[in-house]
Copies of this chain bind each other. A is one copy, B any other.
């Protein structure tokens, strides 16, 4: 069983800088910003606390870098979902499925983003300046709006405001993952039961949204 030369992690970059980043992300995800210390990060990395500050100077800097990356990745998933050229029903199904799958790979992301945006008005300002105002992100929403209006004028779907449809899909998708720790713990579910539950919930959300959109 000599595995000396086997590369075990496809994306592994063993520089201290990236190891600190990765450990920090894991801890921020699990515990949030306030409850995570640079001392704890250093301990789990196996370096000194000074090194964390050497690379990122402040805990806030380290956090921001991770936060920004995660928001960008999430917005990209949303952007990509809107590229679909299928029928509107198929597009909705594909989009919801894509969101569920992306969050299944990263189930702590919704809470991580929510927590920091709710608790820190400064981060909301930061998000507004860096994303919401950017033309490319405005375009994503306008594209979605235009397509919905078009389908409605053709009489293929029911009347609903684009913002309401967006909020409805976001609610049901995001809340599934926000409530996952409670689902698992309060109902004593195994990991495999949780996986089944997510799949079942995905199907059900798709079914319900389609029904809402029926003319």
Contacts and interface: CB of A to CB of B under 8 A. Distances in A.
Interface string A148-185: 00000000000001001001101110111011011001
A64 interface: no
Given A128-B186, A211-B212, A171 B175 contact: yes
- State the number of copies, please: 2
A73 B204 CA distance: 30
Contacts of A114: 111, 178-179
A35 interface: yes
A186 B32 contact: no
A128 B185 contact: yes
B204 A164 contact: yes
For chain A, which range describes its interface: under 10, 10 to 19, 20 to 34, or 35 or more residues? 35 or more
Given A172-B171, A175-B171, A186 B119 contact: no
Interface in A76-117: 111, 114-115, 117
Interface in A193-215: 201, 204, 208, 211-212, 214
Nearest to A203: B164
A111 B117 CA distance: 11
Contacts of A30: 119
Contacts of A201: 164, 167
Given A119-B31, A119-B32, A132-B186, A168 B124 contact: no
A185 B125 contact: yes
Nearest to A131: B186
A135 interface: no
B127 A186 contact: yes
Interface of A: 30-32, 34-35, 111, 114-115, 117-119, 121, 124-125, 127-128, 132, 161, 164, 167-168, 170-172, 174-176, 178-179, 181-182, 185-187, 201, 204, 208, 211-212, 214
16 contacts: A31-B119, A32-B32, A111-B118, A115-B115, A118-B181, A124-B181, A132-B186, A161-B204, A164-B201, A167-B179, A167-B201, A168-B172, A171-B171, A171-B172, A175-B175, A178-B178
